[in-house]
Amino acid sequence: MVLLSCFGSPTVMADDELIIDDRGTGDYRSALGTSWRLVTDSVMGGVSNGQLTLDTIDGKACLRLRGDVRLDNSGGFVQAALDVKGENALDASAYGGVLLEVYGNAEEYNVHLRTDDVWLPWQSWRASFMAPAGWHTVRLPFAEFSGYRIGSPLNLEQLERIGIVAIGRAFKADLCVARLALYPETTP
């Protein structure tokens, strides 16, 4: 069980997931109180386009990321970004990795993590996953995240943003996320 004592300050009960978003708010706010936002490669001159909407798929409320990822002008991404930092960065060091409940379109997507060690917009720690049609639970161990254009190791005590990203090749993105959590180190 996770209790939120105030914005961005989760209290975690032993051996449980840390729920970051379970779509219980009915709007773009996460369970932490921070809001999802759309970021595309247009921030660096790219021409990919996308939209972030609220949806219900097979009876599950979800956040839906759709768009056309295009490589023109050195572009190539559409992202649903969530700041997980309130007054302080989120300490994820007691967890084993990121858990997502997703419904996709048989494409590969990424999860990008940013910490206070990251200061350039293209830097992050990244892991990929397949999102087949139908609801599936994906577990990405922190050990599988690799740094992209960053030399320092992933500092799980200073997590600031989680991004769910369609990136790297031209394709039509269509991904629904019903739950985002950190799972305990001991999850089988």
Q: What SS3 state is found at 107?
A: strand
Kindly report whether the global pTM for this prediction surpasses the value 0.75.
yes
Which CATH number is associated with domain 2-184?
2.60.120.430
Which residue in this structure is represented by tokens 């050195």?
Answer: 74
Q: What is the DSSP string of 72-105?
A: GGG--EEEEEEE--SSS-B--TTEEEEEEEEE-S
What is the Cβ-side half-sphere exposure of residue 91, based on CA atoms within 13 angstroms? 7
Q: How far apart are CA 37 and CA 107, in angstroms?
A: 21
Whether pLDDT at 8 is above 80: no
Q: pLDDT tens across 44-80, in order?
A: 888 999 999 999 999 999 999 999 999 998 889 999 9
